[in-house]
Amino acid sequence: KVSLFEKHPTLIKNLPKYLENNPIYSRLDVFNGFGGLDGFVSGTLANHLNFDLVVLENLEDEPFGRVLPDGTITGSLGDVVNRKVMFSGNGRFLMDYGTTEIEFTVPYDGDRFCLITPKALKVPRWKTLSNCFTIWSWFSISGICIVCVIIWYFIGGSRNIIKAICEVFSFLVGIPFKTVPSFGRLLFLTSCQMFNMTIMGIIQGSFFTDFTTTIFYPDIDTLEDFVKSEMPVATNFWHLIQNESELVRRLKEKAVVINGNIFDSVAYHRNVTTFDRKQVLELLIETEYMGKDGIPLLHMVSECFTSF
């Protein structure tokens, strides 16, 4: 007997449509109907060692299992310890599980535990104007406009500040207005025109770039940034994180329990986060949680917990 439980994508029962015609899965009966890496490893062992693969499927809430404080061992780990099965076919991390009643076979892969969060939202189009320049650039442009108004107030022939502001504004945006020409005014207005052409060219170029490029708010990319956020964490893998640092302690304080598919909650409800193996997360992002516009619905935090 072999302990197995469905764990997408390493052990799957129902093949996705894009794999149904894959020649690798043409004889799924050899692997007792299970696909994925773990299903193939178990099926290959049965084929080469000439034994029938009798599956004891574990349906507990924590199918990997662990040693509880009272000494009870749950999940597939308990199936092995209690001699219900010969081995557990689901790949697991090579670490101390709190019991000496098991032994590992040859390690065949390595991976990391990483956080997955909802993809940052798009920046609204109406905010595009603020992206054309930095805040200091806007202050500089505003300062130049104020200086222009002051100069025009003294050389424009009018001592009405409101009229001076309106005339400078009209000239900068291309609205015609009457004025008595003079060399000083001509020189000043020519300078304003050059300034206006430069700024408008930059703004138009920035508008073209921003309106043709999808811009997102910054994603969370460090554990420290995530701790500062208000997002909770839902997972059954806390017992695998053996790092007892202050940062991990603060992360555990954000733990919540979510019923149903956690990844769906992260992608569509955007009200929770979780963590899992990096290879699994990369596959899920590319195959199951891609938006209609080709933009992922999930984001994997670059800084991971630990490596196994």
Token output for 99 = 């019991």
Strand partners, 118: 298
Separation of alpha carbons 12 and 14, rounded Å: 6
Please give the CATH number for the structural domain made up of 114-122+216-307: 3.40.190.10
Count Cβ atoms below 10 Å from residue 40 Cβ, excluding itself.
18
Cβ 231 vs Cβ 266: under 8 Å: no
Buried/exposed 72-107: b ≥16 CB within 10 Å, e otherwise: ebbbbbbbbbeeebebbbbbbbeeebeeeeeeeeee
Q: What is the pLDDT of residues 153-179, one digit of tens each?
A: 888 767 788 888 888 888 777 777 777
Sign of CA dihedral 275, 36, 13, 25: positive
Question: Is the distance from CB of 168 to CB of 155 less than 8 angstroms?
Answer: no
Residue 119: the pLDDT is: 93
pLDDT value of residue 116: 92
Domains in the chain: boundaries: 2-109, 114-122+216-307, 125-211
Say what the pLDDT of residue 29 is.
Answer: 56
Q: Where are the beta strands (DSSP E) in 119-201?
A: none
E runs forming strands in the chain:
2-4, 55-57, 87-88, 112-118, 233-234, 255-256, 274-277, 298-300, 306-307
Half-sphere exposure of 165 (CA within 13 A, CB side): 5
Residue 54 main-chain phi, psi, to 5 deg: -100, 115
Mean pLDDT in consecutive groups of 10 residues from the start of the chain, 308 residues = 81 70 63 72 81 76 83 87 87 83 83 89 74 75 84 77 82 74 78 80 75 81 88 83 80 84 90 88 87 88 82
Beta bridge partners of 300: 116
Whole-number Å distance between alpha carbons of 113 and 276: 5
Measured CA to CA, the distance from residue 249 to residue 229 in angstroms comes to 15
CA distances to 82, 110, 115, 275 from 239, in Å: 21, 19, 15, 13
